[in-house]
Amino acid sequence: MLLAGGCGDAEWEGGSPRVGLGGPCGDTGLSGPPSPPRQGSCFQSSRREKYGNVFKTHLLGRPLVRVTGAENVRKILMGEHHLVSTEWPRSTRMLLGPNTVANSIGDIHRHKRKVFSKIFSHEALESYLPKIQLVIKDTLRAWSSNPESINVYHETQKLTFRMAIRVLLGFRIPDEELSRLFEVYQQFVENVFSLPMDLPFSGYRRGIRARETLQKGLEKAIQEKLQNTQGKDYADALDILIESGKEHGKELTMQELKDGTLELIFAAYATTASASTSLIMQLLKHPRVLEKLREELRSKGILHNGCICEGSLRLDNINGLHYLDCVIKEVLRLFTPISGGYRTVLQTFELDGFQIPKGWSVMYSIRDTHDTAPVFKDVDVFDPDRFGQGRSEDKEGRFHYLPFGGGVRTCLGKHLAKLFLKALAIELASTSRFELATRTFPKITLVPVVHPVDGLKVKFFGLDSNQNEILTGTDAMLGATV
């Protein structure tokens, strides 16, 4: 069958585009522009309504098959390595490095996933949890002590970067150097999807320089860590990665370790910051949800007299918080950080009655699939109860709900990402009061990941054990004189 397209053409045009922007360790990293930047999701939804769930459009001037719907997405995700293959742009492949999970295919990809999978085991997550809590507590304390409102999206980017460096990798980098590395890393991320033109002042050249600086800093930190942890039990992702490599018969080289750590930072950074910002925005919009979270924490013996009970935040306890799980699921459904994943067709196959030719590119859309899934009622409404035991809308069929992708490239770090979001939600519900610092909620942009156009301006206030605001600075002095 001929394939209708977003540009009005009713049949295939020539060419063989090579576009592939899946995420590291899966399809949960930065995905590049999901649609024409000036028209956004409305452009794609109008094309979907006109042409159906499989149609031809263009990305960065090149033709692309856009795919929506659980069954169509399932065929693509389950067809990895034989029907389709992930393929990043040349600039992204070069900047991320040749030794990454994202850049590997076939048996090499399967082997690397085995090595990396141990990083996200139950035992590993248990060891990360106290450090994650500490980083979040310190961050919220800093936000609450700031007399001005903060830019939540920018601050959560710094938070997830710090979490990756301090918790995942176990690097003891001084705060000043960490801030410098964060600025360099932002420059790296801003240019990781640039045109692969190695010219002076080009984005690609800036990306290369940022990568070189990051790699030098990472090598120094890795060497220091290896010297200081010899003979000790491993307790962070880098330790586990090194041990896992040995267990699978291959000791990782320094270059592989540098590429692996950079990929871990990349995987943990933008999408987690996006989801964290969306979580805070929804808790602001829906105070009843926040109060229901607090009720669950109290009923489970985690929150008592305004304080988190010592020793109560173990991994099993957090996993037993069913309403909290529903809240995180709903944030990821309605505000999926990325639009989807990209694949190159290895052999011609049929999809929804259309022939998808070998060599073409396809994009499976997570966001569109969530928005059109028949299993979700009132799809535009933020309703965590849809995932509760009474409804369980996500259980009515596979691939209707896929915030972490699926198939052999399912995000390896999905359990860590959800744990981080849950720990953040618990701290927000327990130790902070926060309010919107602008008159209205900002609009949302989808590029390169979902985030508020103004970053979301919020004022945070610390709470004492009686859930009263902690007065600091000028406010405390004024209170003392009254």
- Digit-coded pLDDT (tens) for 72-108: 999 999 999 899 998 777 788 888 887 788 878 888 8
42 is in an annotated binding site: no
* Nearest in space to 159 (alpha carbons), one of 173, 139, 142: 139
Question: For the residues 318-325, what does the mean pLDDT come to?
Answer: 97
Question: How many separate domains does the chain show?
Answer: 1
Asked if residue 339 belongs to a domain, the reply is: yes
Domain assignment present for residue 145? The answer is yes
Let me know if residue 16 belongs to a domain.
no
Q: Per-residue pLDDT for 22 more than 70?
A: no
Question: What is the tens place of the pLDDT at every residue in 203-249?
Answer: 999 999 999 999 999 999 999 888 876 555 557 888 888 888 888 77
CATH number at 439 reads 1.10.630.10
In-domain check, residue 23: no
User: Could you tell me the residue range of the domain that residue 401 belongs to?
Assistant: 40-481
pLDDT given at position 92: 80
Q: In the chain, pLDDT over 90 holds for what percent of residues?
A: 54
CA angle at 131 for the pair 130 and 132, rounded to the nearest 5°: 90
Using the CB atoms, write b or e for 152-173: b if 16+ within 10 Å.
bbebbbbbbbbbbbbbbbbbeb
In-domain check, residue 9 = no
Which range (99-103, 183-187, 281-285, 322-326) has the least confidence? 99-103
Q: Are 359 and 63 in contact (CB under 8 A)?
A: no
Task: Please indicate, yes or no, if residue 473 is contained in any of the structural domains.
Answer: yes
User: Token pair for residue 96?
Assistant: 């991320």
What integer is the mean pLDDT of 150-179?
94
Which residues have CB under 8 Å from 200's CB, separation 6+?
Answer: none
- Among candidates 404, 338, 347, 344, which has minimal Cα distance to 93? 344
Residue 59's contacts (CB-CB under 8 Å, 6 or more residues apart) are 17, 19, 32, 33, 361, 363
Band (pLDDT 50/70/90 cuts) for residue 416 is: very high
With respect to residue 379, please indicate whether it lies within any of the assigned structural domains: yes
Closest CA to 68 of 88, 50, 87, 89: 50
Q: Is residue 20 part of a domain?
A: no
In the three-class reduction of DSSP (H, G, I as helix; E, B as strand; rest coil), residue 357 is classed as: coil
Cα 203 to Cα 78, 95, 104, 194, 424: the distances in Å are: 35, 11, 25, 6, 34
Report residue 290's pLDDT band, with 50, 70 and 90 as the boundaries: very high
In which band, very low, low, confident or very high, does the pLDDT at 48 lie, cut at 50, 70 and 90?
confident
Average pLDDT over residues 366-392: 94
Q: How far apart are CA 149 and CA 439, in angstroms?
A: 13
